[in-house]
Amino acid sequence: MPLTILEGSTFCVCDESGDVDGPSMGFFASDTRFLSRLILTVNGVRPLLLTSGKVEYYSAAFYLRNPIAGGLGQDELSIARERFVGEGMQDHLIVRNHARRRIELVIGLEIGADFADILSVKEHDFTMGDPRHARPLPPQVEPQYEDARNGFVLRGADGFDGMTQVFLSERGEINAGCARYRIVLEAGAEWRLRLDVLANATGGATGPRLAELQFGQERARVRASLAAWQIRVPQLEASWPAVARTYERSVADLASLRMGQRRGLVGQLPAAGMPWFMTVFGRDTIITCLQTLLFGPELAESALAALVDLQATEDDPETDAEPGKIVHEVREGRAAMNWFSRYYGTLDATPLFLVLLSEVWRWTGDNELPGRFREPALRALGWIDRYGDLDGDGFIEYMRRAPHGLENQSWKDSGNSQLFADGRQADAPIAPCEVQGYVYDAKLRVAEIARIAWGDEELATRLERDAADLRLRFDEAFWCEARGGYYALALDGQKQRVDSLASNVGHLLWSGIVPAERVPTIADRLMQEELWSGWGVRTMSTADAGYSPLTYHNGTVWPHDNSLIALGLARCGRRDEADRIARRMTEAAAYFDYQLPEVFAGFPRSETPFPIAYPTAARPQAWAAGTPILLLQVLLGLEPDRERRELQSVRWEPAPEWAGRIRLSGIRAFNRVWHASLENGEIAVRGEEGGVRSESQS
């Protein structure tokens, strides 16, 4: 299995021995592969694996033994590779002689780079791409050895000015892109080598001494950043170990995915996920920020600022951009040259941007915040009404305009995700059901902002009227009476109901667009066997022709999807069902080393003793890492009261026995610190001063 280590949007994908060798492996920065080959040999043969793994998200260790080659006996040598990724990559190699004799050997390092863009590399990944039809990757460039610096320089081609520098701490024999070291080790002796890899998208060179200094500073910076993050987030104590360990892993994963100055961003915000989505994704970034407001507002405020900076200002069919639209995906380096720097093919990021703005306001009580974002918010509303509604029917829909854009532009954006119950593919333009709910929620939220923070009663009244009208028309257009009643997945280009039963209906509970009389029906459908796998809610019902437990959006279980469904169920008073999702997600996480993946298979729990991994799942992935945080919020019933400027629990019924004891300390809301506790089913929330601010009792 490939092993990935990362720091923000810089990362390395290698094999279990630490070698980089394969079409989808490499050291990546700026959406470009700066190292595509790094192979270690002993006497011309690759060493054998003992064990390997991550130490932290930004470091890994690989422990190897010698091959039986060139006169070496079995297990006479141990080889340790210690790897660190920051803005560059550094390897420490330690070879130890465990034999009782003097050993002569040759250590070899093969180095190469093709400077392929990350999207082209992804197409050669057999799980996420299509290697049979993928375009050929660029050829390896010729490494140039600089004797004065004892290092290799590899320069980009075809108009790309990027450069990779590889510095070696010891001198060896150089032949093309290979360095060989003839070593003599006495019994018990060891030999060391340090390898510094620097990536520069603009071609600037660095000297080896400066590189060594930079790596020392970078290690200190990364460690300090992780320590500060771990101290700043709320501290959790839980009697059920799975809750604590899953939370701890989520905290580390979210730390690893933070991006900042290297992408010119204001503050830090999470990349979408490893390995192919280490960049800003509008939808993923927003949802992750919504899931993690227990951590404080900083990630969300950084996301709002970054997304405003990227908000479309022109109508550009080549990138599916229209004025006011929130970006889908950002790329740089070689990927920006070959594909795009900004792509806007997402229908839901724009209304979700407004939801996030409102939610940050609710958690901070900062009335200046809506003022700072007033113009971008009005532009987003303008996009919804003018460009989002393609045919003037009051629903927003998508249709691809960009030649290489996405066919489907909701969160289920795979090519076959919009299927009728009989398996037919729906034709664009597509109006997804859940996005209508996002628009409904966004308009009500902005109406509140307009009335209270902007003093614009006329806008508030209009938005409330629009939302009420949308709710009525939505129910009429999307409701399906068959199969006990449910909402269709979407409307197609002919305004036919795309009548698959899908997890999207759970998002409708979260947005509040479902009329009260239909809530019990929707809640029941979500938790019946067609959708409920026993580990979570499936993306598609087993009764639909397109269902498969192994199809990306048509029968799998997505943790983030379930976290939003659980929040919706809880807000509708269906606490038992919300708790069930929280419990099963926590149990599932234990089978993935407490790191929830992006997605896992939808096989019934009754047929599998553990959840089945999905081969293409990103790990870590931002909104999967955010899932345990939001589920903990749901379990404790934590919600902000903006008017009273208090954090409270809205869970008045007893918490389930399986939750045990929980103490969550250091929650930041309204510029204060709060502590929440669960004991014997009773939840209490208090401010730092010690007074109980809200309480629920069994």
**Is pLDDT of 204 > 80?**
no
| Under 8 Å between Cβ of 150 and 171 | yes
**Is pLDDT of 694 > 70?**
no
CATH number at residue 305: 1.50.10.10
Same-domain pairing of 255 and 289? yes
Q: Once rounded to an integer, what is the mean pLDDT over residues 142-160?
A: 90
Residue 497: inside a domain, yes or no? yes
Residue 184: inside a domain, yes or no? yes
Supply the pLDDT for residue 184. Answer: 96
- Domain endpoint, select from 201, 223, 245: 223
Number of domains into which the chain is organized: 3
- Return the SS3 of 581: helix
20 burial (CB, 10 Å; 0-12 / 13-18 / 19+) is buried
Same-domain pairing of 545 and 661? no
How much of the chain exceeds pLDDT 70, in percent?
95
Residue 228: inside a domain, yes or no? no
pLDDT per residue as tens digits for the range 245-264: 999 999 988 988 887 644 55
* Nearest C-alpha neighbor of 686 from the set 678, 676, 672: 676
Residue 335: inside a domain, yes or no? yes
- Return the SS3 of 218: helix
Give the pLDDT band (50/70/90) at residue 126. Answer: low
Q: Which residues of 257-273 are buried (b: 16+ CB within 10 A; e: fewer)?
A: bbbeeebebebbbbbbb
Same-domain pairing of 575 and 656? no
Same-domain pairing of 595 and 625? yes
Same-domain pairing of 209 and 259? no
CATH number at residue 59: 2.70.98.40
Supply the pLDDT for residue 186. Answer: 95
Residue 685: inside a domain, yes or no? yes
Q: Once rounded to an integer, what is the mean pLDDT over residues 398-409?
A: 93
Same-domain pairing of 142 and 249? no
Q: Once rounded to an integer, what is the mean pLDDT over residues 662-669?
A: 96
| Under 8 Å between Cβ of 63 and 83 | no
**Is pLDDT of 698 > 60?**
no
pLDDT per residue as tens digits for the range 280-336: 889 999 999 999 999 999 999 999 999 999 999 999 999 999 999 999 999 888 888
Residue 649: inside a domain, yes or no? yes
pLDDT per residue as tens digits for the range 521-552: 999 999 999 999 999 999 999 999 999 999 99
Say which residue the tokens 């229209």 belong to.
322
Supply the pLDDT for residue 211. Answer: 66
Give residue 110's domain range.
Answer: 3-223
Q: Which residues contact 227 (CB under 8 A, 6 or more apart)?
A: none
Comparing 493 with 123, the larger pLDDT belongs to: 493
pLDDT per residue as tens digits for the range 579-590: 999 999 999 999
**Is pLDDT of 266 > 70?**
no
Same-domain pairing of 135 and 217? yes
- Return the SS3 of 227: helix
Same-domain pairing of 584 and 555? yes
Query: For the chain, what is the radius of gyration of the CA atoms?
Result: 27
Alpha helices in 479-612 (DSSP H): 504-511, 519-527, 559-571, 575-590
| Under 8 Å between Cβ of 695 and 683 | yes
In DSSP terms, which residues pair with 686 in a beta bridge? Answer: 675, 692
pLDDT per residue as tens digits for the range 205-222: 676 666 666 667 777 777
Same-domain pairing of 217 and 242? no
Supply the pLDDT for residue 600. Answer: 95
How far apart are the C-alpha atoms of 65 and 43, rounded to whole Å?
13
Same-domain pairing of 204 and 237? no
From 412-426, 484-498, 615-629, the region with the lowest mean pLDDT: 615-629
Q: What is the longest distance spanned by two Cα atoms in the chain?
A: 89
Residue 80: inside a domain, yes or no? yes
From 10-19, 80-89, 195-204, 367-376, the region with the lowest mean pLDDT: 195-204
How far apart are the C-alpha atoms of 251 and 234, rounded to whole Å?
10
Residue 475: inside a domain, yes or no? yes
- Domain endpoint, select from 636, 652, 673: 636
Same-domain pairing of 347 and 477? yes
Mean pLDDT of the chain: 91
- Domain endpoint, select from 178, 193, 223: 223
Give the pLDDT band (50/70/90) at residue 127. Answer: low
Same-domain pairing of 195 and 293? no
Strands 682-687, 672-679: pairing kind: antiparallel
